[in-house]
Each structure stands twice: as structure tokens, then as C-alpha cells.
Amino acid sequence: MKKQKDIDGVLVKQIQSGKKDALALLVKRWHKTFCEKAFWLVKDADVAKDIAQDAWSVIINKIDGLKKPESFGSWALRIVYTKSLDWIKANKKLKNNLDDYNFKNTVITEDENSNTAIKLRLLKALKTLPPHQQMVIRLFYTQEYSLKEISVMLNISVGTAKSRLFHARERLKQLLKT
């Protein structure tokens, strides 16, 4: 453990003195750990990767101010932890807002192909999707946010938002066919 801290300390000192190659080594040593830590907290691999990437941005911007280079590991993991908690809080607020819609099951008394019946089947299918897909679908279609706006709100990449929207649509197609 002491040897690991010493290696980190040397790499951080090299980065602080302007050697950019040391940053690549530091990323190689720590990126997987950051992703695993974020995943442990948020339980979503795509989000965990985004959080690790965001953490690296903060680390790169603030590493020159790190006074104890050998404490890089705990310092950097704290940044990942904080970013993960921020995502969870933002997600919880958004989930609470979406829960206000409170889509309730109602008895269909009209023709099965009526507009109301179709909407109710769609809402019922929507409730079976994973929460992260429900969120993107609802923000995109009911709130009419763009994918870029959704990515900012959920603190995910635009690519992740697109992927979630695509997978949610595909799953809804399957559910509505049956």
C-alpha cells in the first residue's frame, strides 16, 4: 500500500512539473477503480463511466493544487464519490418530479383500439421499463426536452441519453406488439 502511494506521489509530482506522460500512467492506474467506485454507488455502468470521466476533468484541473501528492488516491476517490452522490441526488429529484405524473391503471371501457385505450396500454408498458429508460422517454416525449438537455439534467453523455432512448423505444415496441 505504501509503495502504491509512493508511485502515485511521484506521478502527481511529475504532472505538476509539466510532464504530461505521467497523466496517462495515472489514468491507466486509476480509471478502472473510479468506474468501479461510481458503479458501486449508482448501479449503472454507463453512468459510472460518465462519472469517472467527469471526475478526471476535475482532477486534471485541480491536480496542480494537490499539496500531498501521495494522497492522490483518497483525494481522487473523494471526487468520484462526490460526483456519484451529485448524480444520485439529481436523479432522485427528477424521479420525484416524474412520479408526480402518477400514471394510474384504469379500467378500459372503450374499444381496444381507441385513442384512450392505446394511451393506457402505452403507459402500462412504460411502467415496466427500467427507471433510467422511463426517465429519458418521459423527458423526451412528455416534457419535449432535447437529448442534449436530458444529458445535462441527468448528468450523462448525449450518447448515453440516445442509447437509453433507443433501448426504451425497442422495448416498448416489443411490449406493445404482444
Given a cut of 50, whether residue 102 has pLDDT beyond it is: no
**Does the global pTM surpass 0.85?**
no
- Please state the rounded mean pLDDT for residues 111-130: 77
> What number of other Cβ atoms are within 10 A of residue 169's Cβ?
16
Q: Residue 101 corresponds to which amino acid? A: Y
Identify the band that residue 107 occupies on the pLDDT scale cut at 50, 70 and 90.
Answer: very low
Distance of CA 118 to the CA centre of its chain: 31
Q: How far apart are CA 135 and CA 88, in angstroms?
A: 13
Identify the band that residue 108 occupies on the pLDDT scale cut at 50, 70 and 90.
Answer: very low
DSSP string, 95-149: HHHHHTT--------S-TTSHHHHHHHHHHHHTTS-HHHHHHHHHHHTS---HHH
Domain annotation for the chain: domains and CATH numbers: 2-84 (1.10.1740.10), 101-177 (1.10.10.10)
